[in-house]
Amino acid sequence: MTWRVIVGTISFVITMIMLGFVAVTEQDRMANFSVAYEARTVETGGALFESNCATCHGLDGAGVPAKGPALNTPELFNGARLTEANFAGTVDNFIRLTIAGGRPRMSEWARAQSFIDPMPTWGETYGGPMRNDQVDALTNYIMNWGLAYQGGAQPTAEPVVGVGTDITVELPPGDAASGEALATSQGCTACHVLSATGPAWLAASDPNDQGIGTRAALRLEQPDYQGAATTPEQYLFESIVAPNAYLVTDNPAYINAATGQSIMPATYGALLDPQMTSDLIAYLMTLK
């Protein structure tokens, strides 16, 4: 009987001591949880970015020509883009706002880079498919790129020296395998898989069963060809760096009705160095 009272009392005191322990450590615990949770949202954001944004912004955030701008870049975090967009808030807000609302009408800055489609709307609140916590996770993931640029650190990648638009320059020997990788990373495959958005490269998707490697030779012999190329390789070179030298008109969607120019960006001469260009050409030549 007495021992019951004693053991009961001791248990009660132990419970109180444990609660005291929680009370003392609770602030730290809550802080740790917040840090851990924030970190987990970055992970979630990475997965979401990979499945929803990488097609336009590149898996590594370096941007995809004609599709979407680079996000993994100092300009986004050092305020240059905010100034350009006349935005008074923080970078964090700028990113969150852009993701949630999208840019239904493309900005001047984006138009100048000839992106095809505007930035879509993602936030549920504005008719997109994503919940708020998903938009937050994406924001945290993109902001996490910014850490690398804090303290003035600059990206280590060397700037590309463009190949230019002169198709007679001598190119180094090309490697088809790396050309294939470039076709994806440079955004070519965004347009050239199905013939609806650009002439399809693979014979299987071409109405006449001709791969781009075969077509390159045939184009030169077409009566309406007005370009400067004399060999199939040069034709491909020209098509990449000067899309408007000769317009393929198989499909009206290839031509921007307002300007009469190709919808293919005319900027690749500046974006690709000679090696990259040669690799791409080598790859295209394999697609007979």
Partner 1 sequence: MAVFKPHLPILEDIKTKGFLAALLFKTNEAVERLTAGLDIEDIRGVLRGDPAPRPNPRVKPHADGFWFHMRPTYYHNLVTGLYPSFRLGWLSTYFFVFEIITGLFLMIYYTPSPLVAYENMLNILSNVPFGRLMRDTHKLGAELMVIVVLLHMARTFLTGNYKKPRQFTWATGVVLLFVTLLLSFSGYLLPWDQLSLWAVTIGASMVEAMPPPAVGELVNLVVRGGPQFNAGGLLRWYLAHVLLLPLVGIVFLGVHYYKVVIHGHSLPPEAEPVGEDTAKRVPTDQRTYFMPDVITREVLYVALLTAVVVAWSIFSFHAPLEPHADPLITPLHTTAPWYFLFLQGMLKIGDKVVWGLIAPGILTGLLIALPYLEVGPSRRYGDRRVGLSVGLLAVAVMAILSFMGTPHYLVSSSPDQEIVAELLPQTQPGPLRESDWNEMTAGTWRAAEWEAAPTATLRNLLHLYQEEVEHAQDSTRCRRAGNCLTDPQGSMLIEDWQDDLKRITFRVIWDGGPDQVCAVGSQNEFCQVVYFHKNANYWQKP
Interacting residues with ligand HEC (CB under 6 A): 49, 52-53, 55-57, 65-69, 71, 76, 81, 95, 98-99, 103, 106-107, 109-110, 115-120, 122, 138, 142, 186-188, 190-192, 197-199, 212, 215, 219, 236, 239-240, 243, 247-248, 254, 262-265, 268, 280, 284
12: partner contacted, choices ligand HEC, partner 1, none (Cβ within 5-8 A by kind): partner 1
Residues 6 or more apart whose Cβ sits within 8 Å of residue 279: 174, 175, 176, 178, 179, 182
Residues 6 or more apart whose Cβ sits within 8 Å of residue 106: 115, 118, 119
Residues in the site for partner 1, rule: CB under 8 A?
A: 1-2, 4-5, 7-9, 11-12, 14-15, 18-19, 21-23, 26-27, 29-30, 32-40, 42-47, 50, 131-134, 141, 144-145, 147-148
What does the DSSP assignment read for 96-146?
HHHHHH--SS--HHHHTTT-SSPPPP-BGGGT-SB-HHHHHHHHHHHHHHH
Nearer CB in complex with ligand HEC: 67/163:
67
Nearer CB in complex with ligand HEC: 8/127:
127
Nearer CB in complex with ligand HEC: 1/252:
252
Rounded to a whole number of angstroms, the minimum distance from the CB of residue 164 to ligand HEC is: 15
Nearer CB in complex with ligand HEC: 140/157:
140
Nearer CB in complex with partner 1: 42/247:
42
231, 239 contact by CB (below 8 A): no
Angle at 137 between CA 133 and CA 143, to 5 degrees: 140
Angle at 70 between CA 66 and CA 71, to 5 degrees: 140
Structure token pair of residue 49: 């970015």
